[in-house]
A and B are shown apart, each in its own frame.
Chain A
Amino acid sequence: QLQLQESGPGLVKPSETLSLTCTVSGGSIRSSSYYWGWIRQPPGKGLEWIGSVYYSGSTNYNPSLKSRVTISVDTSKSQFSLKLSSVTTADTAVYYCARLGHCSGGSCLDYWGQGTLVTVSS
């Protein structure tokens, strides 16, 4: 059974860089079939797609965050990572990692991590 687990600091100061890692187990991150993504959810609000990465390192970012986001992959550790720079209180959210599965010609988020709350505060 595929499992994803987010890890990283739960508190980040304004203007600093948020860094999270997602560890994939029970399956291969090197599969040519899947992308791996990050999604966030501010407290009490809806979901926002941040971006995704392929095992080769190819990325796709939400334009609203593109200037501040870097997503990378380390296949040797079966991990992919998120960096979000120059954070403000508006970046306070639960951050989820997920697998982008193939779903009848489209894509869907078929496996999710449990999520990790990151609070931006001084």
Chain B
Amino acid sequence: DIQMTQSPSSLSASVGDRVTITCRASQSISRYLNWYQQKPGKAPNLLIYAASNLQSAVPSRFSGSGSETDFTLTISSLQPQDFATYYCQQSYNSPWTFGQGTKVEIK
């Protein structure tokens, strides 16, 4: 199985901050990397697909980059509604695997 490792596991930030979350794959996955946002008690919501493509209706302050083994999710200016847990997920090989999550908390 391809292992996905996110860092950090959690972070504290203020509204307006620029936030960066990284995801590393245990082998090359080309650009088959998706990012999801999950709020407490809710299902995950797709933010970014294929490493850098913004899903419909997702605010432009979210962006993704990377390829092969190293990927980044950036929130350019953190908003109150962005406090949540973020997961990366690879769709290069079955079984699909997720990172362990990064919890973004209010500073």
Fill in one digit per residue for A41-71: 1 if any B CB lies within 8 Å of its CB, else 0.
Answer: 0000011110000000000111110000000
* Tally of A interface residues using CB under 8 Å: 24
Q: How far is the CB of A17 from chain B (nearest CB, A)?
A: 22
Given A46-B99, A96-B43, CB of A109 within 8 Å of CB of B89: yes
Which residues of A come within 8 Å of B, CB atoms? 46-49, 60-64, 96, 98, 101, 103-110, 112-115
Judged by a CB distance under 8 angstroms, whether B71 is at the interface is no
Classify the interface of chain B: helix, strand, loop or mixed.
loop
| Interface pair A64/B34, CB less than 8 Å apart | no
Q: A46-B100, A63-B95 are in contact. List 10 more A-B contacts (CB 8 A).
A: A47-B87, A64-B1, A98-B43, A106-B49, A108-B55, A108-B89, A109-B89, A110-B55, A112-B44, A115-B42
Interchain CB contact (< 8 A) of A103 among B42, B44, B53? B53
| Interface pair A109/B100, CB less than 8 Å apart | no
Q: How far is the CB of B106 from chain A (nearest CB, A)?
A: 19
